[in-house]
Chain A
Amino acid sequence: MLALPSAPAPAPRRQVIVGTALVGGAAMAIVGGLLALSLRMRKAALDQANGRWVPKGIKVPMVPANTMLLALVPICIFAQWAVYSAKRNDKPHTGLALGLTGLIGIAFINAQAFIWNQMHLGIVKGGTYAVMFYSITGVMAALAVAGVVFSAVTAFRYLGGRTTDREVVSAHALYWYAYAVVFAMVWFVVYVTK
């Protein structure tokens, strides 16, 4: 066997962060594709004579939708607070920040469920709009659930003693940043322009 010069163990190359970035990119692609399809369907519907996109009698509740967008601001702040505290080996504050991130994440999912409940939008009766609305918001809700699970796993790992795992805390923050960007697009297309 040929012997090349051997090296010491390589420096960490931020594997979890890179992996999270790739997953975040894939999530952006799925939601971006759905939004593009939704816009195309919307244009086709509006181009018809007397065409409308949102079915008659359906009102999109803006207050919870705006609240969801605003909730992502503290989520990102708390996720970054966790990174800041972890870098200073401040275990109590890291745990608190991760806990608050997860908690607001749960409230975020609750707000989405509230919107579904308030709209009374039957998927059969609502036609293409309903199909697109539930597909987009459903995917976003699933990604939010994944984010809350990510927060919980990060907190358990950190509080369980793996305090040198700062990269996971950073990757967790990156996930929520990416989520906030994607949700801002969804908010504008689905809730604002309708």
Chain B
Amino acid sequence: MTTIEAHAPSAAHTGAPLARVADWVTTTDHKKIGRLYLATSAVAMLGALVVAALVALERIDAKTVTLPIESLTQLFSTYRFGLTFVVALPLLVGAGIAVVPLQLGARSLAFPRLAATGYWAWLVGSGLAIVAICANGGPNGGNKRFVDLFTLGAVVAIVGLVASIVALAASVLTARAPGMNMRRVPFFSWSILVMSLGLLVALPILVGDLLVLFAAHKYPSVSELSGNRAISSWASFGFTQPTTILFVIPVFGFLADAVATATHQRLKPRGAILAAIGLMLTAVFGAAVQAPVVIRTHFRGLSGGQKVSDLLPYALVHVLPLLGAFLALALVAAGLRAKPTVTAPLVFGLFAALLAVLGTAGGALNHIGDAGLVGTTFEEGAWLALMYAVVLATMGAVAHWGPKWWGRLLPLKATLPLALLGFLGAVLASVPMMIAGFADQPGAIFPAVEKGVDGVVKFNYSGPHALWNTLSFIGHALVLLTALAFLALAVRSFAKGERAGDDPWNGQTLEWATTSPAPQDNFADLHIVASAEPLLDLKTNRSDA
């Protein structure tokens, strides 16, 4: 049996507006489900970036609290939860759902209804969680009922994402075109599979912990799991490194596809690049242990056995993903020696990969006890680098594959500077937080709330703390500006952009073998694949003839 379905032409193309809405709500077309994810999380991204800028603004003055003190906790929770599970991960899942079946030469996503159900569950769950945070719920919130609502909302949202991720992984494993073995799977689809397998372990563990915390909070007892503070301490592994390193794995897959397309050459060594991307999967062990894997302080004074017991897990959870990220970037960047055509997707992908390596390295450094960075803003800086890597890569993915979704190109001249602006903003937002971490600026904003309105002491260290936090604020503002401008360009392109040909980038993989935009069933015929670059084979054969 197979769940790949052939669809009748959509009635919505000729129907009334209501029929169009119904068509989108009940759609099983993977391109529409993917675009629903992308559009919703893009809107959420604007909100999350405003909140990120507000949090950064609040930190500029280290002594006083400008915003209402009771709302600080909510802002911080919205910032962390929102950027992780309402923006970054859904952006990637949306891009994956919209692109992967096209790359695989499949007519549909595996389990399209499961993916669609996952989207709606994520939307409802995220909405409930954000509403709960706004109503003084969420981690460290003061309203008990809304803290419970946040936990349940987060569970529903993450379960929804897991459902969509199951459909993605099953597609890569079972819906490939004839002849496309796993070595011939396009880089982006491969990286989506690696990420999916990692998240299918990490996210259910987080769901389990959230369920425990919900029970402990709803029925308070003498337990270390009870109370609103327990949520941020026991579930924090899901919102930080190394779990979030899993999110950036597709960044390298996208960059590899963008470089191969821009250089019009087969990217080699293919096996090594696939292996490097796969190596990043070891970050999943960090989520599996549900606690930070650190090298203890005073490491030199430890016995040999203690050193080994610290170093082995650390190497598995932090060093191997960093090695994978570095190797993937180095191997793919080596392909740039073939003089690429400079395109917006390539530049977005390159900057995103640099940020991803920075964030992964930051995650590794943060867990060395003697570095003294635990509990500081250094962790937040590394996390921001990873989240903004995902944001930039998704912008690149929209610029790259947009023609297959709506048949039009984004203007290159206007999009290219946005990649630079976004990268500058991401670096400014994250790196000063890392530097401030070395100066012991506390990572959480909660100490301010604990002190109360009178005599608030947020943090105190010698050094230009106002400079680091001002730079971070400017960085968030620049990323917000980039996101706004990119969305405006995308909407304009959707309405009246330059029409794209079927193969506007002179691509190598199967998505460029169908029309722009791709029809509902993607391909009129199923194609036989004889290499990892089937279109390049065809073009080479033609020129030879």
- Chain A residues with Cβ under 8 A from B206's Cβ? 33
Interface size class of A (residues with CB under 8 A): 35 or more
Q: In the complex, identify which listed stretch (B273-281, B332-340, B520-528) lies at the interface while the others stay far away.
A: B520-528
Contact (A124, B215) CB under 8 Å given A4-B528, A4-B534, A165-B1: no
Q: How far is the CB of A12 from chain B (nearest CB, A)?
A: 5
Tell me if A57 is interfacial: C-beta within 8 Å of chain B: no
**What would 18 A/B residue contacts be, using CB atoms closer than 8 Å?**
A4-B510, A10-B2, A10-B177, A15-B3, A15-B111, A15-B175, A19-B114, A26-B203, A29-B202, A30-B205, A33-B206, A34-B208, A41-B224, A124-B221, A132-B212, A139-B211, A165-B1, A168-B1
Contact (A124, B219) CB under 8 Å given A1-B515, A7-B177, A7-B525: yes
> In the complex, what residue of chain B is closest to A162 when comparing beta carbons?
B1
- Chain B residues with Cβ under 8 A from A167's Cβ? 1
Cross-chain contact B514 with A1 (CB below 8 angstroms):
yes
Cross-chain contact B204 with A33 (CB below 8 angstroms):
yes
Cross-chain contact B526 with A33 (CB below 8 angstroms):
no
How does the 8 Å CB contact mask read for A28-48 relative to B, with 1 for contact and 0 for none? 011111101100010010000
> In the complex, what residue of chain A is closest to B507 when comparing beta carbons?
A2
Tell me if A56 is interfacial: C-beta within 8 Å of chain B: no
Tell me if A23 is interfacial: C-beta within 8 Å of chain B: yes
Cross-chain contact B200 with A15 (CB below 8 angstroms):
no
Cross-chain contact A37 with B208 (CB below 8 angstroms):
yes
> In the complex, what residue of chain A is closest to B173 when comparing beta carbons?
A18
A-B CB pair tally, cutoff 8 Å: 155
> In the complex, what residue of chain B is closest to A25 when comparing beta carbons?
B200
- Chain B residues with Cβ under 8 A from A64's Cβ? none
Which of B4, B169, B170 is most buried by chain A, counting CB atoms within 10 A of its CB? B170
How does the 8 Å CB contact mask read for A136-168 relative to B, with 1 for contact and 0 for none? 001100000000000000000000000011111
- Chain A residues with Cβ under 8 A from B539's Cβ? 2
Cross-chain contact A127 with B221 (CB below 8 angstroms):
yes
Partner of B208, one of A10, A14, A31: A31
> In the complex, what residue of chain A is closest to B170 when comparing beta carbons?
A19
- Cα–Cα, bound, A13→B177 (Å): 11
Tell me if B255 is interfacial: C-beta within 8 Å of chain A: no
Q: How far is the CB of A74 from chain B (nearest CB, A)?
A: 27
Tell me if B512 is interfacial: C-beta within 8 Å of chain A: yes
Contact (A134, B215) CB under 8 Å given A29-B201, A123-B221, A139-B208: yes
Q: How far is the CB of B203 from chain A (nearest CB, A)?
A: 8
Tell me if B216 is interfacial: C-beta within 8 Å of chain A: yes
Cross-chain contact B526 with A10 (CB below 8 angstroms):
yes
Tell me if A135 is interfacial: C-beta within 8 Å of chain B: yes
Binding site for B on A (CB under 8 A): 1-10, 12-16, 18-19, 22-23, 25-27, 29-34, 36-37, 41, 44, 123-128, 130-132, 134-135, 138-139, 164-168
Cross-chain contact A29 with B526 (CB below 8 angstroms):
no
Partner of A29, one of B167, B170, B200, B223: B200
- Cα–Cα, bound, A2→B506 (Å): 11
- Chain A residues with Cβ under 8 A from B513's Cβ? 1-2, 4
A-facing residues in B485-526 (Cβ within 8 Å): 502-503, 510, 512-515, 525-526
Contact (A7, B528) CB under 8 Å given A12-B2, A19-B110, A123-B215: yes
Partner of B2, one of A15, A32, A134: A15
Count how many chain B residues have C-beta atoms less than 8 Å from C-beta atoms of the other chain.
60
Tell me if B322 is interfacial: C-beta within 8 Å of chain A: no
- Chain A residues with Cβ under 8 A from B176's Cβ? 13
- Chain B residues with Cβ under 8 A from A18's Cβ? 110, 170, 173-174
- Chain A residues with Cβ under 8 A from B387's Cβ? none
- Chain A residues with Cβ under 8 A from B178's Cβ? 7, 10
- Chain A residues with Cβ under 8 A from B368's Cβ? none
The 3 closest A-B pairs by CB, nearest first: A33-B205, A6-B525, A30-B204
Partner of B538, one of A4, A27, A44: A4
- Cα–Cα, bound, A148→B136 (Å): 39
- Chain B residues with Cβ under 8 A from A7's Cβ? 177-179, 525-528
- Cα–Cα, bound, A9→B177 (Å): 10
- Chain A residues with Cβ under 8 A from B288's Cβ? 29, 32-33
- Cα–Cα, bound, A32→B290 (Å): 11
